[in-house]
Amino acid sequence: MRSRAIYGLAGKTLVAEERAFFGEAQPWGFILFSRNIEDPAQVAALTSSLREIGGDARTPILIDQEGGRVARLKPPHWRARPPGARFGEAYRNDPSMAREATYLNARLIAAELIALGVNVDCLPLLDVPQSCAHDIIGDRAFATDPSIVIDLGRAQIQGLLEGGVLPIMKHIPGHGRAGSDSHLELPRVTAGAEELSAVDFVTFRSLDSCPMAMTAHVVYDSIDPQRPATTSPKVVRDVIRGEIGFDGLLMSDDLSMKALDGPLNVRAKAALFAGCDVVLHCNADMDEMKDVAREAGTLEGASLRRAEHALSLLQPPRMPFDPALAEIRVAELLGGSV
Tell me which of 75-84, 93-102, 128-137, 229-238 is least confident: 128-137
Q: Counting Cβ atoms within 10 Å, is residue 14 exposed (0-12), middle (13-18) or buried (19+)?
A: buried
Q: How far apart are CA 43 and CA 229, in angstroms?
A: 33
Q: Which member of 39, 94, 183, 322 is catalytic? A: 183
The DSSP call for residue 216 is: -
* pLDDT > 80? residue 336: no
Task: Share the mean pLDDT of the chain.
Answer: 96
Answer for the pair 240, 249: CB distance below 8 angstroms, yes or no. Answer: no
Q: How far apart are CA 323 and CA 80, in angstroms?
A: 14
Examine the residue annotation and report whether 253 is marked as an active-site residue of this protein: yes
Note the pTM of the prediction, 2 decimals.
0.97
Examine the residue annotation and report whether 139 is marked as an active-site residue of this protein: no
* pLDDT > 60? residue 337: no
* pLDDT > 80? residue 309: yes
- Supply the pLDDT for residue 291: 97
Q: What is the DSSP string of 229-253?
A: GGG-HHIIIIIIIIIS---SEEEEE
Q: Which domains occur in the chain, in start order?
A: 3-333 (3.20.20.300)
- Supply the pLDDT for residue 62: 98
pLDDT band at 338 (very low <50, low <70, confident <90, very high): low
Q: Which member of 253, 254, 277, 291 is catalytic? A: 253
Mean pLDDT of 234-253: 98
* pLDDT > 60? residue 191: yes
Q: Within its chain, how far is the Cα of 63 from the centroid? A: 8
- Supply the pLDDT for residue 132: 81
